[in-house]
Structure 1
C-alpha cells in the first residue's frame, strides 16, 4: 500500500484547470527568462531574425539617452524602496510583534483529536506512525510500526 496520494483524477475539474493554467503561466515566464540565451544560440547557428530586438542599429546618442533614462528609472525605484524600508524600520524598530507560540502538550493534542492521551503519547514516541482518517479528514486513529 502506497502512503503517497497520487491520484489527480480525484481532484475537482476546476482545480485541475486552475493548476494547469498556473503551470502554463510559469512555464511561459521560464521560457521568457531564457530568451536572451536562446537568441544568442540562434545567432551562433546563423539565424539573425531576432537581431532587431536589440538596439544595435541605433546611434550612439540615442543609446546614451536610453542609458540615462533607464538609470534614472532604476535609481528612482531603488530609492523609493530604500525610503520605504527606512520608514518601516523607524516605525517598528522597538516593537516586538512576534512571540513564540505556546507549545502544545500531549493532553492538548489528545483533546483536539478527541483521543486518549496515552495513545497520542505512544504516537509521539514511535518511529513510524501511519495516521487513519475518516471521510471528512478527522483523525480516527493510527497504526504504530517499528
Structure 2
C-alpha cells in the first residue's frame, strides 16, 4: 500500500519538459504585461529623475503614451484572456498519484493539531495559524 501524503502542489510530479514549457509561457506572459506598461514607466521615470524640462513634460507624456495604439490595446485586451483561457484548458495534467478525500481527524493527525480546533476553523471568518521556526503548526486561533 502506498503511503498517503497530503499534496498541495503537484508541480513536482509533472514531466520536466512540461514544467519548462509552462515556465517559458509564464515568463513570456509576464514580459508581455510589462511591455504594455513600458510607455507609462518611461514617463514616470523621466518625471521622477527630472530628465525632462517642466514645459516638455506634457510632450514627453503624449509622445510615450501614444506609442500604444488603440488597435494594439484592443488586440492585447482580447488576446490576453484568450491565451489564458486556452492555457487553462491545456493544463489538464492528472498526476499519477491516487487522490484521497481526507477527514478532519486525518488532517489533524498529519499536521499534529487538535481536531476540535481544526473543525472550528472551517466556519471561522478569521484564522490565525501559529507555527514554530521549523514551520510546524503550533496553534490555530479562530475568530467568528
Please, what TM-score do these two structures have when normalized by structure 1? 0.33
Please, what TM-score do these two structures have when normalized by structure 2? 0.33
Looking at both structures, which has the greater relative contact order when contacts are Cα pairs under 8 Å and sequence separation is at least 6? 2
Larger Rg: 1 or 2?
Answer: 1
